[in-house]
């Protein structure tokens, strides 16, 4: 199998041509939510149907970090390094404190339960932005089959004072979410119709505007994605990881033999792209470096 598909010559400066995909683990049912902990030298990621968060490190391999895990999905870290997790099971966004206790940050909006928070990004001001499609309540496979209480599939923001507010109400199935490295733009993917990533401008007060299509993703669709330090967007897709230039041109692909759900830059130099792909965790070294965390 070819390792790369080069669409634009600029992609050649993003990849180490001799680098190959490594399979670090096999045995998940739907791998999602990778997040790198450089201070602990490990990656955490969700195995949603098995209701667990797994941990991988170069030295010790794979172990169970948390089980049950509230059918966790997307993970990230806040500015204090704490784990922020979307949970299908408890229909919530949580924070794991430094002492290991878990704080619920959001689980209802105006008295109605959230659908099933999917993916999350933290802005440097401490606000937490997340998507809320119903995947975790549509069946018992990725959570608990339940009636929806909210009218729509919103994108929400938890302000630094804890207030939950609706950012967007016009997505079909909002899913991945990330800020550009300078936080001047917000990107949100839709895995309903159309399968696209939209881009919003963020003004100095932190308010988003715009929302035009950045890219339509196929085959498959755009689930989770991350930015490298040069502002390129690396997104999950049906045939691997697609890399886009900051202006929305497809540069190339890292081909992966399973459907990819999400990616994360890690390793000591943040030049190792971790890929959660259905039953497996993969990694490949690239010549891009991940954008800094908040």
User: Quick one: which of 46, 72, 115, 118 contacts Mg ion (CB under 5 A)?
Assistant: 118
Map tokens 């159309």 to a residue: 194
Residue ranges in 163-192 that form contacts with Mg ion under rule CB under 5 A? 175
Q: How far is the CB of 175 from Mg ion (least distance, A)?
A: 5
Report, in Å, the least distance between residue 261 CB and Mg ion. Answer: 6
Site residue total, Mg ion (CB under 5 A) = 5
- Residues 17-56, interacting with Mg ion (CB under 5 A): none
Stretch touching Mg ion by CB under 5 A, among 119-127, 201-209, 245-253, 274-282: 119-127
CB of 182: closest distance to Mg ion in angstroms?
A: 24
DSSP-derived secondary structure letter, 248? S
Q: How far is CA 86 from CA 1, 46, 96, 206, 220, in A?
A: 35, 10, 11, 22, 22
Does the footprint of Mg ion cover residue 119 (CB under 5 A)? yes
Please tell me the total number of residues recorded for the chain in this structure: 294
**Using CB atoms within 10 A of its CB, is residue 291 exposed (0-12), middle (13-18) or buried (19+)?**
buried
Least distance CB 131 / Mg ion (angstroms): 8
Using CB under 5 A, which residues numbered 232 to 291 contact Mg ion? none
Q: Which CB, 19 or 263, lies closer to Mg ion?
A: 263
Show Cβ contacts of residue 104 under 8 Å, excluding neighbours closer than 6 positions.
Answer: 90, 92, 93, 94
Q: What is the DSSP letter of 171?
A: -
What residue ranges bind Mg ion (CB under 5 A)?
118-119, 175, 223-224
């Amino acid at each position: 199998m070819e390792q790369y598909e080069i669409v634009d010559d600029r992609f050649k400066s993003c990849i180490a041509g001799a680098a190959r995909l490594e399979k670090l683990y096999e045995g998940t049912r739907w791998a999602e939510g990778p997040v790198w902990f450089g201070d602990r030298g490990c990656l955490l990621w969700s195995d949603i149907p098995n209701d667990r968060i797994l941990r991988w490190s170069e030295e010790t391999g794979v172990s169970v970090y948390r089980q049950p895990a509230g059918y966790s999905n997307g993970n990230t870290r806040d500015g204090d390094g704490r784990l922020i997790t979307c949970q299908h099971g408890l229909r919530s966004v949580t924070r794991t404190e430094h002492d290991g206790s878990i704080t619920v940050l959001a689980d209802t909006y105006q008295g109605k339960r959230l659908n099933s928070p999917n993916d999350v990004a933290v802005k440097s001001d401490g606000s937490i932005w997340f998507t809320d499609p119903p995947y975790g309540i549509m069946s018992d496979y990725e959570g608990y089959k339940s009636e929806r209480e909210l009218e729509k599939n919103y994108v929400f923001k938890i302000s630094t004072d804890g207030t939950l507010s609706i950012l967007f109400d016009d997505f079909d199935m909002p899913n991945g979410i990330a800020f550009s490295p300078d936080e001047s733009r917000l990107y949100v993917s839709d895995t309903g119709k159309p399968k696209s990533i939209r881009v919003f401008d963020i003004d100095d007060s932190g308010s988003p505007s715009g929302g035009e299509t950045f890219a339509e993703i196929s085959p498959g669709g755009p689930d989770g994605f991350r930015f490298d330090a040069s502002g390129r967007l690396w997104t999950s897709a049906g045939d691997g990881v697609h890399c886009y230039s900051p202006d929305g041109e497809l540069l190339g692909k890292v081909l992966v033999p399973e459907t990819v759900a999400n990616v994360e830059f890690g390793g000591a130099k943040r030049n190792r792209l971790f890929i959660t792909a259905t039953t497996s965790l993969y990694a490949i070294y690239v010549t891009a470096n991940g954008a800094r965390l908040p």
